[in-house]
């Protein structure tokens, strides 16, 4: 260990040091600090590692060559080049204040301008609906927090407008939506309704399982024992439902394969966790569909090496390699076995000259889980219940993921796409998983009334979902931050990973906090169910209300969108 580096540059050599961004505390640092806290070393709040490269060259490298080398050795999303050795983690970033968009004065033009600036992905329906909402109903200007909120929670990614919309084909409107056609497979199956526990609802599907002998804390069956405290284990027979859930994480995996695939795995694991009022994982499955690999040692006759790909997307072979590494890395660190999967690569021209290829990749991640049958149903929110966040702190990552994955290809912006990709922390998710498992092991005394996983849109989506339709009040400054320079918009809209949202009754809050402390998982109470039918977000620092929305008009049963198609096209 030395205060000075042993690397010395001579001639055309140069030294490059790369490490974490100042405003981004890494998972490695979080785990190191957790170990130090356990060892009663309380004075260390952040501990990071960087890498220094000595680059030797017989001839001087051009600026372009240097930039290319630097782009290879670091991840520009979470890392940066250090021009000189660090003496502080201060970033110098100043949080941006909440802006109010002049819709009452400028009308639709104001919405179009903020849509272009922030990449919100608004379409004609969005412009008309939100203009009417503010101008005619609320009679006020929207905040940038509210419009960013809509772009995520009401995006195609989150709302599935196409599957639930009106389909007009060759000028004739169809009687059923695509969702109705899919859901009818359950309704028309005479055997499924007796076996299906959860279908087309919640975070996963579930079927009736079996009576399973399990080793559980004695307080699961003995109500005289204090819940959550150390005790002996007993064998108990529990009705366990079988869970399966699946999702795709395509755009993030195409833009940043390793991170996109690992956070796709993490998001799917949280879907299992958040089924009912808590569930546990068993094993994972995975699948990849990519374009032509164009590998020199294994060239296929239908591949064309001259084909170009979007500049913001990784190459198909890199997606396959790094995506697989990312998904496996997350599962290994979390502790979930991967039991089966598939891989497909395809790209060719048809007889008519049309190019057919998975230019945008498909990452399919699925997982099996199990759930105590008494935890099948989430309860409705009640006035006075507490809104609690469990898991990791907030970071300026995953900004606009719902909107980014929903934008048409012609609207793509590389900077917005890259900002929309998240970063995973499997160890933190396992800590959160142990908290949920501990709650489930309380049996009938499970303190969780309702549980939702945090996905696209971050807080702005999950907090509205868990209070809907009753309404609640959120104190934005009670959200635990990993980056103190985050603005209100970023705290409200960032899709930081490893976090779930729960409703608990006030009397159960202390027990949940004690369990979370034991498992070294952060927990914070961020709000209260009010019963006014609104989602209200307040900022105690300046007394402002950056978000104040009627849930029925922004999250309830909104008017469907209409989609036109013609066979001739």
Query: What's the pLDDT band for 1 if we cut at 50, 70, 90?
Result: low
Say what the pLDDT of residue 6 is. Answer: 80
Phi, psi angles (nearest 5°) of residue 439:
-65, -40
pLDDT tops 50 at residue 140:
yes
Answer yes or no: are the C-beta atoms of 477 and 532 closer than 8 Å. no
Domains of the chain: 14-82 (3.30.1280), 203-377 (3.30.1330.10)
Say what the pLDDT of residue 252 is. Answer: 84
Task: Report pLDDT digits (tens) over 5-42.
Answer: 788 888 888 899 999 888 777 878 888 988 898 899 98
Task: Report pLDDT digits (tens) over 104-137.
Answer: 999 999 999 999 999 898 999 999 999 999 999 9
Query: What's the pLDDT band for 77 if we cut at 50, 70, 90?
Result: low
pLDDT tops 80 at residue 405:
no
pLDDT tops 90 at residue 423:
no
Task: Report pLDDT digits (tens) over 207-263.
Answer: 999 999 999 999 998 989 988 888 999 999 999 999 999 998 888 888 888 888 888
**pTM: predicted TM-score of the whole model, two decimal places:** 0.87
Query: What's the pLDDT band for 453 if we cut at 50, 70, 90?
Result: very high
Length of the chain: 569
Q: Is residue 501 classed as helix, strand or coil in its secondary structure? A: strand
Measured over all CA atoms, what is the biggest interatomic distance in the chain, rounded to whole angstroms? 79
CA–CA separation, 86 and 208 (whole Å): 57
Q: Which residues pair with 198 in a beta bridge?
A: 206
Answer yes or no: are the C-beta atoms of 500 and 454 closer than 8 Å. yes
CA–CA separation, 390 and 25 (whole Å): 18
């Amino acid at each position: 260990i030395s205060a000075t580096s042993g690397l010395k540059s001579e001639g055309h050599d140069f030294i490059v040091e790369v490490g974490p961004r100042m405003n981004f505390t890494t998972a490695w640092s979080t785990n190191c600090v957790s170990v130090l806290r356990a060892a009663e070393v309380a004075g260390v709040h952040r501990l990071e590692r960087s890498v220094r490269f000595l680059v030797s060259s017989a001839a001087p490298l051009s600026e372009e060559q240097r930039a290319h080398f630097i782009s290879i050795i670091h991840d520009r999303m979470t890392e940066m080049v250090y021009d000189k050795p660090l003496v502080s983690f201060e970033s110098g970033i100043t949080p941006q204040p909440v802006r109010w968009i002049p819709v009452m004065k400028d009308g639709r033009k104001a919405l179009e301008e903020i849509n272009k600036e922030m990449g919100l992905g608004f379409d004609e329906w969005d412009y008309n609906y939100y203009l009417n909402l503010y101008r005619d109903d609320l009679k006020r200007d929207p905040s940038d927090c509210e419009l960013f909120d809509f772009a995520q929670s009401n995006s195609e990614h989150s709302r599935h407008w196409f599957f639930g919309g009106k389909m007009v084909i060759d000028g004739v409107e169809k009687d059923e939506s695509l969702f109705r056609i899919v859901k009818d497979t359950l309704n028309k199956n005479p055997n499924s309704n007796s076996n299906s526990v959860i279908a087309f609802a919640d975070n996963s599907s579930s079927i009736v399982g079996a009576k399973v002998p399990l080793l559980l804390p004695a307080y699961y069956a003995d109500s005289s024992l204090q819940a959550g405290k150390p005790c002996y284990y007993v064998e108990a027979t529990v009705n366990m439902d079988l869970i399966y859930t699946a999702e795709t994480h395509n755009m993030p995996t195409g833009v940043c394969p390793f991170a996109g695939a690992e956070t796709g795995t993490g998001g799917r694991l949280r879907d299992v966790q958040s089924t009912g009022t808590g569930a546990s994982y068993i094993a994972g499955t995975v699948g990849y569909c990519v374009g032509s690999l164009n590998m020199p040692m294994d060239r296929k006759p239908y591949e064309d090496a001259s084909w170009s790909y979007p500049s913001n997307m990784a190459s198909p072979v890199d997606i396959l390699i790094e995506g697989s590494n990312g998904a496996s890395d997350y599962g290994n660190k979390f502790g979930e076995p991967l039991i089966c999967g598939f891989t497909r690569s395809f790209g060719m021209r048809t007889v008519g000259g049309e190019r057919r290829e998975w230019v945008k990749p498909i990452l399919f991640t699925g997982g099996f889980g199990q759930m105590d049958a008494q935890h099948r149903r989430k309860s409705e929110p009640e006035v006075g219940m507490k809104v609690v966040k469990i898991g990791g702190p907030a970071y300026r990552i995953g900004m606009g993921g719902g909107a980014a994955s929903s934008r048409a290809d012609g609207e793509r912006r590389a900077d917005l796409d890259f900002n929309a990709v998240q970063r995973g922390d499997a160890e933190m998710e396992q800590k959160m998983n142990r908290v949920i498992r501990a709650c489930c092991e309380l049996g009938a005394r499970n303190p969780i009334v309702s549980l939702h996983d945090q996905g696209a849109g971050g807080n702005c989506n999950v907090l509205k979902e868990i209070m809907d339709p009753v309404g609640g009040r959120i104190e934005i400054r009670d959200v635990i931050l990993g980056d103190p320079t985050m603005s209100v918009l970023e705290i409200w809209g960032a899709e930081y990973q490893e976090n779930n949202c729960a409703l608990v009754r006030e009397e159960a809050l202390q027990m949940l906090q004690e369990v979370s402390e034991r498992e070294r998982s952060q927990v914070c109470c961020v709000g209260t169910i009010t019963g006014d039918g609104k989602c209200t977000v307040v900022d105690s620092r300046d007394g402002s209300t950056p978000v104040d929305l009627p849930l029925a008009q922004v999250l309830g049963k909104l008017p469907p969108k209409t989609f036109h198609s013609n066979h001739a096209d």
